[in-house]
A and B are shown apart, each in its own frame.
Chain A
Amino acid sequence: MVAETSPSLSVELNGLKLKNPIVAASGTFGYGLEYAPLGDLGRLGGIVTKGLSLWEEKGNPPLRICETPSGMLNSIGLDNIGVENFITEKLPQLLPYDTAIIVNIWGREIEDYLKVAERLDGVKGVSALELNISCPNIKKGGITFGTDPSLTFKLVHQVRKRTSLPLLVKLTPNVTDITLIARSAEDAGANALSLINTLLGMEIDVATRRPSLANITGGLSGPAIRPVALRMVYQTARKVKIPIVAVGGISSLLDVIKFLLAGASAVQIGTANFFDPTICWRLLKELEEYLRKEGISDVKQLVGALIEE
Chain B
Amino acid sequence: MGSQVLEKRIYYGSFSVNRQETITPGYRLLSFHSPEIASAATPGQFLMLKIDRSFDPLLPRPMSLHSIIKDGNRCIGFTILYKIVGRGTRLLSEKRSGDKLGIIGPLGKGFNLDRLTPGYEPIIVGGGIGTAPLLFLACELVERGWSPSVFLGANSKEELLRLDEFESLGVTPRVSTDDGSKGEKGMVTDLLGSYLGGSKEVQGEVFACGPPLMLKEVVSLVRRYGLNSQLSLEQRMACGLGACLGCVVRIKSKKGNQLSYQRVCTEGPVFNGEDVLW
Query: Is B63 close to A, CB under 8 A?
Result: no
Contact between B249 and A37, CB atoms less than 8 A apart: no
B232-274 CB mask vs A (1 if < 8 Å, else 0) is: 0001111101111111111000000001110000000000000
Bound: A71/B57 CA distance, A = 8
Q: In the complex, A62→B244 CA distance in Å?
A: 13
Residue of A nearest to B60 (CB): A275
The tally of residues in B whose CB lies under 8 Å from a CB in A reads 32
Q: Give A230-257 as 1s and 0s: 1 = Cβ < 8 Å from B's Cβ atoms.
A: 0000000000000000000001000000
A65-B60 Cα distance, complex, nearest whole Å? 13
Q: Does A38 contact B (CB under 8 A)?
A: yes
For A79, the closest partner residue in chain B by CB is: B245
Nearest-Cβ distance from residue B247 to partner chain A, whole angstroms: 8
- Judged by DSSP, the binding face of B is loop
User: Any chain B CB within 8 A of the CB of A72?
Assistant: yes
B261 touches A36 (CB 8 A): no
**Docked pose: A50 CA to B242 CA in angstroms:** 12
Complex CA–CA separation, A149 to B56 (angstroms): 36
Contacts of A271 in B (CB 8 A): 58, 238
CA–CA, A258 to B59, complex, Å? 24
Decide if B58 touches A62 in the complex (CB within 8 Å): no
A263 within 8 A of B: no
Q: How large is the interface on A (under 10, 10 to 19, 20 to 34, 35 or more residues)?
A: 35 or more
B245 touches A59 (CB 8 A): yes
Q: Which residue of A lies closest to B266 (CB)?
A: A34
Is B244 within 8 A of A74, CB to CB?
yes
Bound form: Cα–Cα A34–B250 in Å? 22
Question: Which listed residue, B58, B246, B249, B259, touches A222 by the CB 8 Å rule?
Answer: B58
Q: What number of residue pairs across chains A and B have CB atoms under 8 A from each other?
A: 105
Within 8 A of A (CB), among B1-19: 6-8, 10, 12
Kindly state the separation between the CA atoms of A224 and B247 in the bound complex, as whole angstroms: 22
Cα A36 to Cα B10 in complex, Å, equals 11
Tell me if A66 is interfacial: C-beta within 8 Å of chain B.
yes
Measured between beta carbons, the chain A residues less than 8 angstroms from B242 are: 30, 34
Q: How far is the CA of A91 from the CA of B81 in the complex (A)?
A: 40
Are the CB atoms of A59 and B248 closer together than 8 Å?
A: yes
Complex: A274 Cα to B242 Cα, angstroms? 10
- Contact (Cβ within 8 A) A273 B243: yes
Asked, given contacts A273-B239, A277-B12, whether A72 binds B250 with beta carbons under 8 Å apart, the answer is no
List, in ascending order, chain A residues with CB within 8 A of B244's CB. Answer: 27-28, 65, 74, 76, 274
Contact of B245 among A35, A38, A50, A224 (CB under 8 A): A50
A164 CB-CB contact with B under 8 Å? no
Which residue on B lies nearest to A36, using beta carbons? B7
Q: Name the B residues within 8 Å of A65 (CB-CB).
A: 236-238, 244, 246-247
User: Does A142 belong to the interface (CB within 8 Å)?
Assistant: no
Residue B104 CB within 8 A of the other chain: yes
Q: Assess the B243–A223 pair: CB atoms within 8 A.
A: no
**A95: Cβ under 8 A from any B Cβ:** no
- Chain B residue at minimal CB-CB distance from A226: B55
Q: How far is the CB of A24 from chain B (nearest CB, A)?
A: 9
* Contact between A64 and B10, CB atoms less than 8 A apart: no
Interface residue? A70 (CB, 8 A): yes
Cβ-defined contact, B243 with A64, below 8 A:
no
Other-chain contact of A37, B10, B55, B57, B236 (Cβ < 8 Å): B10
Residue of A with least CB distance to B50 = A275
> Which of A58, A222, A276 sits near B261, CB closer than 8 Å?
A58
Assess the A223–B241 pair: CB atoms within 8 A.
Answer: no
Chain A residue contacts of B102, Cβ below 8 A: 276
Check if A62 sits within 8 Å of B241, measured CB to CB: no
* A17-38 with Cβ < 8 A to chain B: 27-30, 34-38
Indicate with 1 or 0, residue by residue over B85-125, a CB within 8 angstroms of chain A CB atoms: 00000000000000000101000000000000000000000
Indicate if the CB atoms of A64 and B7 lie closer than 8 Å. no
CB within 8 Å of A: which residues of B?
6-8, 10, 12, 50, 55-60, 102, 104, 235-239, 241-250, 259-261
The 3 closest A-B CB pairs, nearest first, are A65-B246, A30-B243, A37-B6
Q: List 24 A-B contacts (CB under 8 A).
A: A27-B245, A28-B243, A28-B244, A34-B241, A34-B242, A37-B8, A37-B241, A58-B260, A63-B235, A64-B247, A64-B248, A65-B244, A65-B246, A67-B57, A67-B236, A69-B56, A70-B58, A76-B246, A223-B58, A251-B55, A273-B239, A274-B243, A275-B59, A277-B239
Beyond A36-B7, A62-B248, 20 additional contacts (C-beta under 8 Å) are: A27-B244, A34-B242, A35-B241, A37-B6, A37-B8, A58-B261, A59-B245, A62-B235, A63-B235, A65-B238, A69-B56, A70-B55, A71-B58, A74-B244, A76-B245, A79-B245, A274-B60, A275-B50, A277-B104, A277-B241
Which A residues contact B (CB, under 8 angstroms)?
A: 27-30, 34-38, 50, 58-59, 61-72, 74, 76, 79, 222-224, 251, 271, 273-278
